[in-house]
Amino acid sequence: MIPLQDINPRRNPPVVTWLLILANILVFLYELSLPEKAREAFFHTWGFVPARFFDDYFSVLVGEPSWQKYATLFTHMFIHGGWLHLIGNLWTLWIFGDNVEDRMGPLRYLIFYFTCGLAAVFMHSLVYAGSVVPVVGASGAISGVLGAYFLMFPLARILVLVPIIFVPLFFEVPAFLYLGLWFLMQFYNGLFSLVLPDSFSGVAWFAHLGGFAFGLVAFKIFCRRRCRYHPDEYFLFGSFFDIDKGR
């Protein structure tokens, strides 16, 4: 299933989501301007490498300043390995990020986004503590946004494309179904990546799981107002949690 849009109105323009998308695009355009070897060095310098934090020998061998080591906790979220990687992440953020930002407010949402990214690489490091392969991409942070959306708007309608051979089929499904299936797919691939690492390499599945789980448990901390249940807002599907009073 490929998400095309969510049918979930917002009250305010998602300025932070737009700025995050723009920042990711600008960094990617810079990557494209680099020669191949310089681009690889860029990934290793500014991507998140677990061994930097969990292997003292590696840190001494590389000899990087400590500030750069900790900067990668954030810089890795703006680096992408290719067009599909970039478009997939930013398209997902475009669809789901605006409503989460609308409920949290710009500043809380920005802090939440980066904290989800930190939780994602922490989870990845628990599984691959000695890895020297750089983790890049916004997917860990975006997974946290998906986790928040899952509980904030479980009944919001998601328009999805299901390509069956050469026939495109379009469906509206509730967010909890789409995001629940998405989570199960990450979990399945994560488990099999441990059993068959060569077949499932290249994707930080456990970073996705860590970001999503953090979004689930921490989103209320970042809400502007107390969440409360209310009936279906959009007649068919709607928001399960409402942040604003007086509705």
Nearest Cα residue to 142 out of 185, 103, 85: 85
The answer to whether residue 46 is domain-embedded is yes
Whether the pLDDT of residue 204 is over 50: the answer is: yes
More confident residue, 15 or 244: 15
Whether the pLDDT of residue 234 is over 60: the answer is: no
The answer to whether residue 135 is domain-embedded is yes
Cα-based distances in Å from 45 to 25, 97, 210, 243:
19, 28, 23, 40
Structure tokens at 182: 């998405």
Whether the pLDDT of residue 6 is over 80: the answer is: yes
The answer to whether residue 83 is domain-embedded is yes
Q: What is the DSSP letter of 134?
A: P
- The strand ranges marked E within 55-212 are 157-164, 167-174
- The domain that holds 15 is classified in CATH as 1.20.1540.10
Average pLDDT, the chain: 86
C-beta separation of 124 from 209 below 8 A: no
User: What is the tally of helices (H) and strands (E) in the chain?
Assistant: 10, 5
Structure tokens at 160: 């999805």
Alpha carbons 161 and 189: distance in angstroms, whole number: 22
User: Which pLDDT score, from 0 to 100, does residue 55 have?
Assistant: 72
Amino acid residing at 172 = E
- b (16+ CB within 10 A) / e for 71-108: ebbebbbbbbbeeebbebbbebbbbbbbbbbbbbbbeb
Ranges 106-110, 125-129, 167-171: which has the least confidence: 167-171
The answer to whether residue 203 is domain-embedded is yes
Nearest Cα residue to 222 out of 95, 90, 100: 100
The answer to whether residue 247 is domain-embedded is no
Alpha carbons 23 and 245: distance in angstroms, whole number: 33
Cα atoms found within 13 Å of the Cα of residue 34, Cβ hemisphere only: 14
Helix (H, G, I), strand (E, B) or coil at 136: coil
The residues that bridge with 133 in the sheet, in sequence order, are: none
Give the count of beta carbons closer than 10 Å to the beta carbon of residue 115.
Answer: 18
Based on the number of CB atoms within 10 Å of its own CB, is 45 exposed (0-12), middle (13-18) or buried (19 or more)?
middle
Domain that holds residue 146: 2-242
> pLDDT band at 165, cuts 50/70/90?
confident
Alpha carbons 79 and 60: distance in angstroms, whole number: 25
C-beta separation of 238 from 157 below 8 A: no
Q: Taking the model in full, what pTM does it have? A: 0.87
Start-to-end C-alpha separation, the chain? 33
The answer to whether residue 34 is domain-embedded is yes
The answer to whether residue 105 is domain-embedded is yes
More confident residue, 81 or 130: 81
Based on the number of CB atoms within 10 Å of its own CB, is 49 exposed (0-12), middle (13-18) or buried (19 or more)?
buried
The answer to whether residue 121 is domain-embedded is yes
The tally of domains found in the chain comes to 1
Whether the pLDDT of residue 236 is over 80: the answer is: no
